[in-house]
A = this chain, B = another copy of it.
Amino acid sequence: MEFHQLRYFVAAAEELSMSRAAERVSVSQPALSRQIRLLEEEIGSELFHRIKQRIYLTNAGTFFLARVRQLLCDTEMALQHTQEQFGGMKRTLRLGFLSSFLDDLIAPVVREFQQRHARSKVSLFDLAPRAQLDRLRLRELDLCILANLEDDERKHFEVRTLSRHRFIAAIPSSHRLAGRKSLKLSELKHDKWVSLSNAYFPKRREFLISTCEEAGFTPHITAEMDSLPMMLAEIGTGGGVGIMPAHAAKVPHNGCTLIPLSAPAIHSELLLILPKNTTRNVEMETLIALITERASKI
């Protein structure tokens, strides 16, 4: 297992195309294909389904991807941190986020920031909530953007609310309610449910259960997934139903229908999370201001 193989893999997983991935990481397509094959041989399991000249992540691939993301993130941070502290390198701002906010919030903010502080560097890390918080606590990230935070955690960080989002229901397109314009949570009381795993999404299962109980039933949870894309994939193949913040619509969801919830109105808050008791420089303040401003417009 080598770093370049992992980078090629992430690129391929994100592009869902060997050719585009190869272009993105500046190698030829055969070179990339081959390295991914080697990686698959080492793992002993295919990372991609190759069907009809297209590639799709296997379950193993999805599972591996989450870990590789964290790995590459930690690698980059270890290098940067050491360079900055001992190699006289300028401080890079490290920002954790959820991929569903990349287009609307993160990317425009970073573009604007780069214009104002052309000599500053910002590194972006697409990580699950749990992974973001762990790294913020270790000061390996400078700030995080994620939705919801259990009370236990709040006291360790400085937390600001950026915006509020409604929850929607995600059900298979073949589901009896898939044609509806809106639905009530209680209409899904007899369905199988898919949740996000607590390991990556703090307290998410408890949140689902208590929300449903307030609506008068206990959800029958049959699957817990490690990421939003995996959850949508599971639902799309008929594995059950689920709820999630509306911005989840940004991630691909073939076979899934997303329907607004008319009752109860469940909200999640998008939060900006900072370490407590730290002095912040001008760049940091600018970045925070830009994020706050932009988020208020969503």
Contacts and interface: CB of A to CB of B under 8 A. Distances in A.
Interface string A78-112: 11011101111100000000000000000000000
Contact of A3 (B3, B42, B59): B3
A74 B70 contact: yes
**What is the predominant secondary structure among interface residues of chain A facing chain B?**
helix
A36 B47 CA distance: 32
A118 interface: no
Interface stretch (A61-69, A169-177, A185-193, A251-259): A61-69
Contacts of A265: none
Given A130-B138, A138-B130, A138-B199, A78 B87 contact: no
A151 B64 CA distance: 33
Contacts of A2: 2-3
Contact of A89 (B44, B87, B137): B44
A285 interface: no
B64 A82 contact: yes
Contact of A86 (B43, B77, B78, B83): B43
Given A1-B3, A44-B88, A199-B137, A81 B60 contact: no
Interface in A232-273: none
B139 A87 contact: no
A214 interface: no
B45 A83 contact: yes
A75 interface: yes
A134 interface: yes
Nearest to A134: B134
A27 interface: no
A87 B130 CA distance: 26
A71 interface: yes
Given A78-B67, A139-B199, A83 B1 contact: no
B82 A63 contact: yes
Contacts of A42: 79
A273 to B, nearest CB: 16
Contact of A44 (B43, B63, B77, B83): B83
A167 to B, nearest CB: 25
Contacts of A45: 82-83, 86-88
B134 A87 contact: no
Contacts of A138: 130, 199-200
A84 to B, nearest CB: 10
A75 B1 contact: yes
B71 A86 contact: no
Interface of A: 1-3, 42-45, 58-60, 63-64, 67-68, 70-71, 74-75, 77-79, 81-83, 85-89, 130, 134, 137-139, 152, 199-200
Given A3-B3, A44-B83, A63-B85, 6 more contacts: A2-B3, A43-B82, A44-B88, A45-B82, A45-B88, A68-B78
